[in-house]
Structure formats: structure tokens, C-alpha cells
Amino acid sequence: MKQYVISKNDEGRRLDKFASHILCNAPRSFTYKMLRKKNIVLNDAKASGSELLSEGDVVKFYLSDETFASFSEKSTPDPSLSGMMPKIVYEDEDILIVNKPSGMLSQRSAKNDVSLNEICLAYVTHDPAGSGETSGNFTPSVCNRLDRNTSGLVIFAKTYRAARSVTLAIKEHTIRKYYKCIIYGSISSDMELSGKLIKDNATNTVSISTGQEGADIITLVHPLCTKNNRSLVEIELVTGKTHQIRAHMASIGHPLIGDGKYGYADVNREYEKKFGIRSQMLVCYRLVFPDDPQLNDLAGKTVEIDIPEDFKKVM
């Protein structure tokens, strides 16, 4: 029998999610079967799995040592990955905010990928400078994702309470996310773009529609400067969907410079030849956090970075 006493860090998690995290190599069906058979119990009582855990609760796993070991063995992040850590912009005991460079995945898409998520996990696990109140029952992870070739601010939650608070704030759009990008064409006034976003999984592209199908999206555009039929604009994402900025700007004839999927090939070739630009000129440069006590030291704060060097070259 294995026993876990719920800490403050794991408070608020659903029992089934907690159990599935402990039995990380077991199929979900096995976890629910063990709950039904009372091989997994909460405070010595049968549970369905939908219960929300509180500090001091006791979860017991009545499994053989061999079964528990095979289903609970977790891989340890490679310590050397912490040496790839991008610039840290903000850090406390719960949260890490880093400046992800263009070309780095936020989360891996294949088993052997090395992404920002694994790098940050190695940092908080192995690097003394990154140690915080992490729990053995929770795996720290990124909360917001940027496209591989988009640079900028990514939030990494060290603790479950931070992951819960940040994820909820992102879902409710109370964390305001601002981007800067360089686009083709001239924009002289603010714009509020809306529409429906439709994703094509086969090609990993999206399209913008005014019909009934798709996810609602809103993109706010604020021009900062215009010259030679190019513009530097600030964009606030009211919603945050895959490729939203890139597809929305392309849909109105103002694709991002360097965008191989939605941009103009001849324009991109020009900027690659002149400045070595090989990816979309897009950076998440500012995060504004709500005055929410659940966010602790980040409540009411703004985190901001400078634009990348390739932006400065082009400007």
C-alpha cells in the first residue's frame, strides 16, 4: 500500500487527475477501475474520482509493489538541459517567466523533442537557483504556448496552485497578452478584428471565416509606426488560438514579414536576403496580470521585454 497526504500545493486537484498523475504509465481506464474496486481510496472511503482534494486528505493505493512501480515510474529530466535555459525575466517560488527564443518549441510534439518545457523542468529540478516549492505529486509545466518561430514571454508553473491560478486567468482572458510584429502594408488607425478560426490539422494551418463554423476570435491592432509600405504594430490577443495573429493579419492583406505559411513569398525572400530573417517577425513582449491575490507577487504586475535584435535591424 502506498499513501499520499495532500499538501497545500495539491489542494483543489480532482482525485482522478491526482491518481492518474501518480500512475503516470497506466491507462486512464485502469485508474477508474481501481477507484471502482476500492483499490484507490480517499480518506479510507470509496471515491468516484471527481472529488476535489483538500490539504490533509489521505489518498491510498492498494496495489502490489510490482504493479505500483511499473505504473508510477517517471523519467527524470536530463540535468544538462538546464544549460539551455533562455533568459529568465521573472521568478518566484511558484512561477518562472522566460524569454523564449525563436526556433524553440514551447512543448514537444514528438517523444525525442527538446522543448522549453523540458529545459525549464530540468532547471527547477536540478539547478539550485531554480529550486522552489515543487511537489513530487505535480509535474511543473508551461502554461501558455508560443509557436516554435514566435519569440517572447512564456509562463512556467512550478507548483500546482500556480498552474491552477494562471491557467484559470488565461482561460478567462484576465491576463492581457501583447505582441509586436512587423507586417506588410500600411496601417494608420486602430482596428478590432473578429471572425471564426477554422483549423486544418492535416496541414497545421488555420483560416479565418465570417460564417458560423469555427472558434470565435478577437484581435486588437494598434499601429506604432509605418514606413515604406511596412508597419510595426502592437497586437493584443483578446482570445488566444493557434496561429491567430498570423492568420488574422494575412486575412486582411497584412501578413507578417517572414511568415512562411501565411506571408508573401517574394517579400519574405527580400527580408531573408537583406537581414537573414527566416521566421515570422512576432514577439510576445508584454504580459499584464490582474490584481488577483491567487497570483501572489505577480498580482497587478506587468512583465515586459525589449524587442529582439532582428526587429531592430529591420526597423
Can you tell me the distance from the alpha carbon of 171 to that of 181, in angstroms, rounded to the nearest whole number? 24
Q: Count of CB atoms within 10 A of residue 71's CB?
A: 18
Can you tell me the distance from the alpha carbon of 262 to that of 241, in angstroms, rounded to the nearest whole number? 15
pLDDT at 75 over 70: no
pLDDT band at 134 (very low <50, low <70, confident <90, very high): very low
pLDDT at 136 over 60: no
Half-sphere exposure of 72 (CA within 13 A, CB side): 16
Average pLDDT over residues 289-299: 91
* Beta strand ranges found along 74-175 (DSSP E): 87-91, 95-100, 141-142, 151-157
* 152, three cell numbers: 517572447
pLDDT per residue over 166-206, tens digit each? 999 998 999 999 999 999 999 999 999 999 999 998 898 99
Average pLDDT over residues 253-261: 97
* 193, three cell numbers: 478584428
pLDDT at 133 over 50: no
What is residue 283's three-state secondary structure? strand
What is residue 256's three-state secondary structure? strand
Can you tell me the distance from the alpha carbon of 191 to that of 47, in angstroms, rounded to the nearest whole number? 52
- Of 42, 43, 21, residue with least CA distance to 31: 21
Least confident window among 131-135, 198-202, 204-208, 242-246: 131-135
Can you tell me the distance from the alpha carbon of 31 to that of 246, in angstroms, rounded to the nearest whole number? 41
CA 10 to chain centre: 20
- Any alpha helices (H) in 42-111, and if so which ranges? 65-72
- Single-letter residue type at 4: Y
pLDDT reported for residue 159:
86
Name the phi and psi angles at 22, rounded to 5: -65, -45
How many angstroms separate the most distant Cα atoms in the chain? 71
79-171 and 176-288: identical CATH topology? yes
pLDDT reported for residue 129:
65
- Pairing verdict, β 151-157 and 282-288: parallel
pLDDT at 292 over 80: yes
How far the first Cα of the chain sits from its last, in Å, is 63
Contact between residue 80 and residue 101 where contact means Cβ atoms under 8 Å apart: no
- 176-288 sits in which CATH class? alpha beta
Least confident window among 19-23, 88-92, 270-274: 19-23
The number of residues making up the chain comes to 315
pLDDT at 12 over 90: no
pLDDT reported for residue 109:
79
pTM score > 0.85 for this model? no
Average pLDDT over residues 135-156: 88
- Of 272, 180, 261, residue with least CA distance to 225: 180
Can you tell me the distance from the alpha carbon of 149 to that of 163, in angstroms, rounded to the nearest whole number? 24
- Of 188, 176, 166, 149, residue with least CA distance to 236: 176
pLDDT at 72 over 90: no
* 6, three cell numbers: 495532500
What is the average pLDDT score of the chain?
91
pLDDT at 222 over 90: yes
- Pairing verdict, β 151-157 and 95-100: antiparallel
Can you tell me the distance from the alpha carbon of 118 to that of 75, in angstroms, rounded to the nearest whole number? 11
pLDDT at 269 over 50: yes
More confident residue, 199 or 211: 199
pLDDT at 130 over 80: no
CATH number of 79-171: 3.30.2350.10
CATH number of 2-72: 3.10.290.10
Average pLDDT over residues 55-64: 94
| Percent share of the chain, pLDDT over 90 | 72
Contact between residue 184 and residue 229 where contact means Cβ atoms under 8 Å apart: yes
In the chain, where the domains are located? 2-72, 79-171, 176-288
